[in-house]
Amino acid sequence: QKEVEQDPGPLSVPEGAIVSLNCTYSNSAFQYFMWYRQYSRKGPELLMYTYSSGNKEDGRFTAQVDKSSKYISLFIRDSQPSDSATYLCASNTGNQFYFGTGTSLTVIP
Amino acid sequence: GAVVSQHPSRVICKSGTSVKIECRSLDFQATTMFWYRQFPKKSLMLMATSNEGSKATYEQGVEKDKFLINHASLTLSTLTVTSAHPEDSSFYICSAESSRGRRYEQYFGPGTRLTVT
């Protein structure tokens, strides 16, 4: 079993839709949970991070962690074509990071 | 956020030659840098963890003699692909670690596209 599991998609939504991206993890020792966005042919960029269970909101983006079910989510409201990218979830224990496979998202104008 | 640069962004080389890729943390010191390889539509595959002033720790299945890593300073790590072959063609991404108390953050470089002909 992989440390972090993520549905690779692809996911295609119309502009303005709410997008839900999800991951599950297996290691209860994971402390921080991150979402990275990667545009084509670019390195990943840190989008959001959360610690412990709960929600964290940043503009149109909301990261959610449920430690009891080992489930992490990223919600994108009012999705834009510029949101089209691959989104990777990640978690860590100490400085050991584990990445999901990434979900490819396309927002259609 | 912290900035990590990578050079070159794209390189084409002939089979049998060696290629060096540089990774620099521009505005912070990174005691630890990571090298990843990414295949199309695949996630990041950690190749090695590089600590400043010491030997890199390679992941299982990664040949240390083929992928030479040097982390000579707190802001620079290099990956040299020796005697490159077409199967080494890939997208190589480095990241530099910033630690704040118990929290670790990784900042990624823009990646280097290596094509071996």
pLDDT given for residue A70 in this prediction: 93
Q: CB contact, 8 Å: A51 with chain B? A: yes
- Which CA distances in Å does B99 have to B31, B45, B56, B108? 9, 22, 19, 14
pLDDT tens per residue across all 109 residues of chain A: 678 999 888 999 999 999 999 999 998 888 889 999 999 888 899 899 888 788 999 999 999 999 999 999 999 999 999 999 999 999 987 777 888 989 999 999 9
pLDDT given for residue B101 in this prediction: 58
Compute the distance between CA of residue B43 and CA of residue A65 in angstroms, rounded to an integer.
21
For residue A74, give the amino acid letter: L
Show residues of chain A in contact with B97, CB under 8 Å. 95
Q: How many CB pairs under 8 A join A and B?
A: 50
pLDDT given for residue A30 in this prediction: 86
In DSSP notation, B13-39 reads E-TT--EEEEEEESSS--SEEEEEEE-
Task: For B31-87, write each residue's pLDDT tens digit.
Answer: 889 999 988 767 788 999 998 888 899 999 999 999 999 988 889 999 999 999 999
Show residues of chain A in contact with B43, CB under 8 Å. 6, 88, 99-102
For testing the chain A interface, which of B5, B32, B43, B104 should be mutated: the one with the most A CBs within 10 Å? B43
Which residue among A8, A43, A94 sits closest to B108, beta carbon to beta carbon?
Answer: A43
Which residue among A42, A88, A92 sits closest to B43, beta carbon to beta carbon?
Answer: A88
> How big is the CA angle at A95 (ends B67 and B63), to the nearest 5 degrees?
15
Distance from CA of B93 to the nearest CA of A (A): 6
Closest by CA position to A47, among listed A11, A96, A83: A83
User: What count of other Cβ atoms lies within 10 Å of the Cβ of residue B73?
Assistant: 13
Average pLDDT over residues B20-24: 96
Compute the distance between CA of residue B11 and CA of residue B81 in angstroms, rounded to an integer.
12
DSSP class of residue A82 equals G
pLDDT given for residue B90 in this prediction: 94
Task: With a cut of 90, say whether residue B18 has pLDDT above it.
Answer: yes
Task: With a cut of 80, say whether residue B113 has pLDDT above it.
Answer: yes
How many whole angstroms from its chain centre is CA A74? 5
Task: With a cut of 70, say whether residue B103 has pLDDT above it.
Answer: no
Find residue B92's DSSP bridge partners. B37, B112
pLDDT given for residue B1 in this prediction: 64
For residue B62, give the amino acid letter: V
